[in-house]
Amino acid sequence: MSEAIAHTAAPLPARECLETLVADILAEARAQGAAAAEAAVSFGSALSVTVRLGEVETLEHHRQRGLAVTIYFGQSRGSASTADWRPEAIRDTVRNACAIARHTAADPCAGLADPEQLAREIPDLDLYHPWPLSAEEGIELARECEAAALTLDPRIRNSKGGSVATHAGLAVYGNSHGFCGGYPTTRHSVSCSVIAQDESGMQRNHWYTAARDRNDLETPAVVGQKAARRALRRLGSRRLGTQQVPVLFAPELARGLIGHFVAAIRGGSLYRKASFLLNRLGTPVFPTFVTIRERPHLRKALSSAPFDSEGVATADRDLVDSGVLQGYVLDSYSARRLGMETTGNAGGTHNLIVEPGPLGHEELLRQLDTGLWVTELLGHGVNLVTGDYSRGASGFWVENGEIQFPVHEITIAGHLAAMFQGIAAVGNDVDARGGIRCGSLLLERMTVAGE
């Protein structure tokens, strides 16, 4: 293997270097006459490996860097970006942003975040745990992961691959209010996807683990074995007749339902009047036992952030308390459009936690009694304007609280507002692998369309 392939991911530059670049961009913006400006500079380094049937299928090393600047002439705005950090490139990028701003109509809601909302202190949230992974080490871990799946059971006949990835990044943001802040982050993952086969046909499934710190990952062998078991349990899948039944969403799918809720209360959807949850602030949108909290400062968490992408300080808050909608998801622009204040969510939410209930998976199946346990969703049939929900699905048919057989080629449908109100239980089997931490969600009734 060549030396070029054997390297590890590149080290990050010093934060002071990126802070200097941000200062240079803002100084150039002032020199070109901007009334206000904001700039972000980022650097990232990543290594990813995929092995299929023991052979290296992909081996990629990425090094990304970029800068973006937004210029304001009054309330006219222009933005430009580049991957070139040279002084002449900075001048050209600022000039391009200025040219756009000069030809853009004024928007009374445009502008930097208000100075009093910017972060004063930047806590260390323990988000940087570099993994000096060489290509050879990554290949061996990916092989170990895939081999654990392929050797678990002779019915595991094929593989879509075992993968290992590591990423480290540093981003610095600053604006002409005097704010400048940045911090490094890491994210590592191991995944596997395999195909099981018997006389009934073939079924595919996968599993993955992700964390800021490689020591918090599941082992490659565990990931591979979970992927294999998930594929094996899908063998013998059947179709169902059309009916209305209770539906239990697995945790990794339940967080997607919460994601639809978040999308419906984003400022952009609200001021465009493109949400089925318009004018619902202070009203019940979930049952009283549902509480959703945002906790941006969880140490090591995958969506933690001391400030948002406008420099606004993040803080703990409850989006939903005892079923009642307490707040929207706003950046400065959408907040002004709505006559409100930013919630520190420019760039997204930060660690949403659906408070778990007392029931585990087996107890939820017993409460489900007879209905559908959904473990996979397909397609994008979600309309946030109307709230209509219809997606392809597969999972397991349950009777008397016991799994009977796997099912596939079905569609589940409902209306999101009714689905949220119809949540019968939140599980304690929380999936913490993403920015939304949620257990299983049991819904009272949905339409299942099949044969």
Query: Does residue 332 carry a pLDDT above 70?
Result: yes
CA 241, CA 146: separation in Å to the nearest integer? 36
CA 138, CA 268: separation in Å to the nearest integer? 41
Give residue 265's pLDDT: 98
Torsion angle defined by CA atoms of residues 19, 22, 23 and 24, in that order, rounded to the nearest 10 degrees: 120
Give residue 1's pLDDT: 33
Q: How far is CA 80 from CA 96, 106, 363, in A?
A: 6, 18, 54
Query: Does residue 9 carry a pLDDT above 80?
Result: no
Query: Does residue 409 carry a pLDDT above 60?
Result: yes
**Predicted confidence band at 26 (pLDDT cuts at 50, 70, 90)?**
very high
Residue keyed to tokens 């406008």: 310
Residues β-bridged to residue 426: 441
Give residue 11's pLDDT: 80
Comparing CA positions, the residue from 428, 270, 427, 265 lying closest to residue 336 is 270
Average pLDDT over residues 312-321: 98
Comparing CA positions, the residue from 71, 76, 64 lying closest to residue 25 is 71
The average confidence (pLDDT) of the chain is 96
Give residue 10's pLDDT: 65
Query: Does residue 2 carry a pLDDT above 50?
Result: no
* Contact by Cβ (8 Å): 188, 246: no
Average pLDDT over residues 118-130: 96
Helix axes 87-102, 15-31, angle to 10 degrees: 50
Query: Counting Cβ atoms within 10 Å, is residue 242 exposed (0-12), middle (13-18) or buried (19+)?
Result: exposed
First-to-last CA distance in the chain? 53
- DSSP readout, 264-295? HTBHHHHHTT--TTTT-TTSB-S-TT--EEE-
- Enter the tokens of residue 359: 């029931």
pLDDT (tens digit per residue) in 49-75: 999 999 999 999 999 999 999 999 999
Give residue 8's pLDDT: 56
pLDDT (tens digit per residue) in 174-219: 999 999 999 999 999 999 999 999 999 999 999 999 999 999 999 9
At 256, which helix (H) or strand (E)?
A: helix 251-264
- Enter the tokens of residue 414: 């409902």
Q: Name the least confident of 11-20, 254-263, 421-430.
A: 11-20
In the three-class reduction of DSSP (H, G, I as helix; E, B as strand; rest coil), residue 74 is classed as: coil
Maximum Cα interatomic distance, the chain, rounded to a whole number of Å: 73
Q: How far is CA 312 from CA 72, 171, 265, 305, in A?
A: 18, 15, 19, 10
Comparing CA positions, the residue from 218, 101, 231 lying closest to residue 154 is 231
CA 410, CA 408: separation in Å to the nearest integer? 6
pLDDT (tens digit per residue) in 209-268: 999 999 999 999 999 999 999 999 999 999 999 999 999 999 999 999 999 999 999 999
Contacts of 74 by beta carbon, 8 Å cutoff, 6+ apart: 35, 106
In the three-class reduction of DSSP (H, G, I as helix; E, B as strand; rest coil), residue 97 is classed as: helix
Query: Counting Cβ atoms within 10 Å, is residue 154 exposed (0-12), middle (13-18) or buried (19+)?
Result: exposed
**Predicted confidence band at 43 (pLDDT cuts at 50, 70, 90)?**
very high
Average pLDDT over residues 97-105: 96
- Enter the tokens of residue 81: 């970006």
Query: Does residue 32 carry a pLDDT above 50?
Result: yes
Average pLDDT over residues 390-400: 97
- Enter the tokens of residue 23: 């200062």
Domains of the chain: 3-231 (3.30.2290.10), 237-451 (no CATH)
CA 411, CA 379: separation in Å to the nearest integer? 10
Give residue 6's pLDDT: 43
In the three-class reduction of DSSP (H, G, I as helix; E, B as strand; rest coil), residue 26 is classed as: helix
Give residue 450's pLDDT: 85
